[in-house]
Structure 1
């Protein structure tokens, strides 16, 4: 499928899904980080013509990342009249949360808590606008290595780009005219004070991960399987204790 066809297909899918719901939502709600995934997804939502609400939700954010988020907000609003944008600073909320849980402090847990606070904010926004929360995860993250926060950025109502590879999303970004500095930026989940990249956390580039997902003979396949195994609990259904029949 050509990039232009992918854009039209996803745009139509979002619209059709909304119309198929028992009560059609009035708004599409998205958190934007300044990264390529959320930038492309929010643009696709805006293309549907439906009210699109984009939220920038910094929590001790690296300045460069936050600035890209704000720039994308402005770009969207200038391009689409159906876009509303909000800056909701969650620094104090996170600080209060962390202070209340000093006896349970854990760096990785607190990083994930940032994503969960953002998820809660998105759902409150959706509730007040009769909207749905739109996910920004891609195929590599959501179904390859499970690189997302359970009940955080993984907590959404629909996932329009979850069957697209990172490479395809980069191409869509270029096609849609997303800001070049966003397209070229190093991917990061924005959950760490030091701004660590996805490559640093995963130990593999997205290009290497895509090759491994397609080819068991690729050099990175073993590493890919190790990451996938560690995160498989996120991708599998919640385990249920099945009762024996009497």
Structure 2
């Protein structure tokens, strides 16, 4: 993988897009994970204004620590970066109370409110992005965005640009190493940080990113009959999640009205 060429390509793409859109730069949510760590650094490398925001909601201490360490790294290395910590616990708890959540009686509410965390962060990024003349930069990778749809619709999926959406998770880790990011970012265990208990992506999905990437690269070319053992298990996981995520992966459907009726 030619990491230096990829880094240069993304940085140039981000800079050109912002200039064409006539904005000052980018705003990005920093979670302490590798995706946001890499993307925020690439945004910073454009030389444009960057606002990196940490937005804890019932967050684990280690996740907060990782995000804060990366914010300090960005501020130290890039003079064009401003950082901000916005505690979203109070508005989140207010929503929790307003919606009268009873996730023991209605299990679907657990997932709905996990997604609400992500949507509250999206609202925050767009607010601060708009008042500062910045575009919201996404952090989704190829497996999450176009493979299994492992993101929140109109949450972390609500962005203006997606600079690493054509890179697999393992490739994002390669960029993190090439960029010499803090160890806490380079070694971060993938997690969406949307739950009150520790739940890694692997635990939620039932497969690792390398396993999923292998299937995604062959998906549509090979079928279940071409796999056996663990590969077959992962294929079934990928197929199930991919089918369920088509409403995210595909464009919003539009009911087209015949011209003759107009």
Q: TM-score, normalised by structure 1?
A: 0.96
Moved more, 217-226 or 83-92: 217-226
Would you say 1:51 and 2:49 are equivalent positions?
Answer: yes
Flag the 1:38–1:240 CA change in 2: closer, same or farther, 3 A: same
Q: Which runs of 5+ in 2 are unaligned?
A: 104-108
Q: What's 1:142 paired with?
A: 145
Would you say 1:168 and 2:182 are equivalent positions?
Answer: no
Moved more, 47-56 or 212-221: 212-221
CA separation in 1, counterparts of 2:154 and 2:176? 27
Would you say 1:233 and 2:233 are equivalent positions?
Answer: no
Q: What's 2:106 paired with?
A: none
CA separation in 1, counterparts of 2:141 and 2:186? 15
User: Does structure 2 conserve the Cα–Cα contact (< 8 Å) formed by 1:187 and 1:198?
Assistant: yes
Would you say 1:154 and 2:157 are equivalent positions?
Answer: yes
1:102 partner SS: coil
1:228 partner SS: helix
Shift of residue 222, structure 1, vs aligned partner? 2.5
User: Does structure 2 conserve the Cα–Cα contact (< 8 Å) formed by 1:189 and 1:197?
Assistant: yes
1:76 partner SS: helix
CA separation in 1, counterparts of 2:48 and 2:88? 27
Would you say 1:199 and 2:202 are equivalent positions?
Answer: yes
Q: What's 2:78 paired with?
A: 80
2:245 partner SS: helix
User: Does structure 2 conserve the Cα–Cα contact (< 8 Å) formed by 1:51 and 1:82?
Assistant: yes
Larger radius of gyration: 2
1:98 to 96, 99, 114: 96
CA separation in 1, counterparts of 2:25 and 2:6? 22
User: Does structure 1 conserve the Cα–Cα contact (< 8 Å) formed by 2:18 and 2:25?
Assistant: no
Moved more, 221-230 or 74-83: 221-230
CA separation in 2, counterparts of 1:64 and 1:40? 18
2:156 partner SS: coil
Q: What's 2:186 paired with?
A: 183
Q: What's 1:33 paired with?
A: 31
User: Does structure 1 conserve the Cα–Cα contact (< 8 Å) formed by 2:142 and 2:165?
Assistant: yes
TM-align CA RMSD:
1.3
Shift of residue 182, structure 1, vs aligned partner? 1.8
Q: TM-score, normalised by structure 2?
A: 0.90
Shift of residue 214, structure 1, vs aligned partner? 1.2
CA separation in 1, counterparts of 2:168 and 2:26? 22
Flag the 1:101–1:203 CA change in 2: closer, same or farther, 3 A: same
Shift of residue 103, structure 1, vs aligned partner? 5.6
Q: Deviations over 1:25-82 (max 9, x none)?
A: 1131000000000000000000000011000000000111111000000011111101
CA separation in 2, counterparts of 1:230 and 1:120? 25
